């Protein structure tokens, strides 16, 4: 239980779902952990769940200027950084005719632009070696209706794991990605559906998964621990699909 002993980690969107579970596993593996989030209730819950040793930062993943503030908070607390898990994201599912420019910009700001400039802001802090893991999605690989903008934003992250891997490996910084399928997290409850509609959407999505179920946050977190650890020192620019076989259809 010490695969991350002595390492300093930042997890964006780390106050619920996959991010919070990954923070728990990082701490169990010996890491010092900082998490970001925006919701006051989940920020407070994360402080309680992760203990006094964790750094909990209120930060908007879409705010480019705010990424420098996150980097400064990490610098003051940890002095440097060994692991970054870019997990914060938003999923909006709409048919093409329902999209507005504002919604399009919001998805890309949270899922792509903010994370890109967070990596930039953290560059002076990243150790050699260091590991960056991006949370992408199976949706970038499949043609699921109503997911066009969300899927495009996740495909952009998948491109970054290759381009930035080539750019940063000389500095000892590895980039990899996990690509989850449907996971039992609060993400789906944020889509704006009623409870009845949400159950219908969930059943419809589950029907697309050969494994016949939603995944659990712990199943994603275990893969992130591996990619963050020295066990993955030769894993560069790779993507681990954790989707119950959804991407094979």
pLDDT at res. 247: 84
pLDDT at res. 69: 98
End-to-end CA distance of the chain: 36
d(CA 133, CA 87): 8
CB atoms within 10 A of CB 42: 21
pLDDT at res. 195: 61
Which residues does 16 contact at the CB level (< 8 Å), separation at least 6? Answer: 37, 39, 42, 45, 46, 185, 186
pLDDT at res. 59: 98
Q: Domains plus CATH for the chain?
A: 8-248 (3.40.50.720)
Count Cβ neighbours within 10 Å for each residue of 65-99 and write b for 16 or more, e otherwise: ebbeebbebbeeebeebbbbbbbbbbbbbbeeeee
Burial classification of residue 53, based on how many CB atoms lie within 10 Å of its CB (0-12 exposed, 13-18 middle, 19 or more buried): exposed
Q: How far is CA 96 from CA 62, 184, 203, in A?
A: 23, 26, 23
Per-residue pLDDT of the chain (249 residues; tens, 9 = 90+): 799 999 999 999 999 999 999 999 999 999 999 999 999 999 999 999 999 999 999 999 999 999 999 999 999 999 999 999 999 999 999 999 999 999 999 999 999 999 999 999 999 999 999 999 999 999 999 988 999 999 999 999 999 999 999 999 999 999 999 999 999 866 555 555 556 655 666 777 787 888 888 999 999 999 999 999 999 999 999 999 999 998 886
Is 234 a known active-site residue? Answer: no
Q: How far is CA 80 from CA 20, 65, 100, 127, 176, in A?
A: 21, 20, 40, 7, 20
pLDDT at res. 151: 97
CB atoms within 10 A of CB 166: 11
pLDDT at res. 207: 79
Our CA angle for 143, 145, 148, nearest 5°, is 75
Identify whether the C-beta of residue 131 lies closer than 8 Å to the C-beta of residue 232: yes
pLDDT at res. 248: 80
pLDDT at res. 169: 98
Query: Strand 32-37 relative to strand 55-58: parallel, antiparallel, unpaired?
Result: parallel
Catalytic option among 104, 150, 188, 234: 150
d(CA 179, CA 150): 13
pLDDT at res. 196: 63
């Amino acid at each position: 239980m010490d695969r991350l002993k002595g390492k300093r980690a930042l997890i964006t969107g780390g106050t619920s779902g996959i991010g919070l579970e990954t923070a728990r596993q990082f701490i169990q593996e010996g890491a010092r952990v900082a998490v970001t989030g925006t919701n006051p209730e989940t920020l407070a819950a994360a402080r309680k769940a992760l203990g006094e040793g964790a750094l909990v930062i209120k930060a908007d993943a879409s705010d480019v200027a705010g990424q420098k503030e996150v980097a400064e908070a990490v610098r003051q607390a940890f002095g440097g950084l060994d692991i970054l898990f870019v997990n914060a994201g938003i999923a909006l599912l709409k048919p093409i005719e329902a999209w507005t420019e504002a919604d399009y910009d919001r998805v890309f700001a949270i899922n792509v632009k903010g994370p890109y400039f967070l990596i930039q802001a953290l560059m002076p802090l990243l150790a050699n070696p260091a590991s960056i893991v991006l949370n992408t999605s199976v949706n970038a690989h499949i043609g699921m209706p109503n997911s066009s903008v969300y899927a495009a934003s996740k495909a952009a992250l998948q491109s970054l794991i290759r381009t930035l891997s080539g750019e940063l490996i000389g500095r000892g910084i590895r980039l990899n990605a996990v690509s989850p399928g449907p996971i039992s997290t609060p993400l789906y409850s944020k889509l704006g559906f009623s409870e009845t509609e949400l159950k219908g959407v969930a059943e419809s999505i589950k029907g697309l998964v050969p494994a016949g179920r939603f995944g659990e946050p712990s199943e994603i977190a275990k893969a992130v621990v591996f990619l963050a650890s020295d066990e993955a020192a030769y894993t560069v620019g790779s993507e681990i699909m954790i989707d119950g076989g959804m991407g094979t259809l």
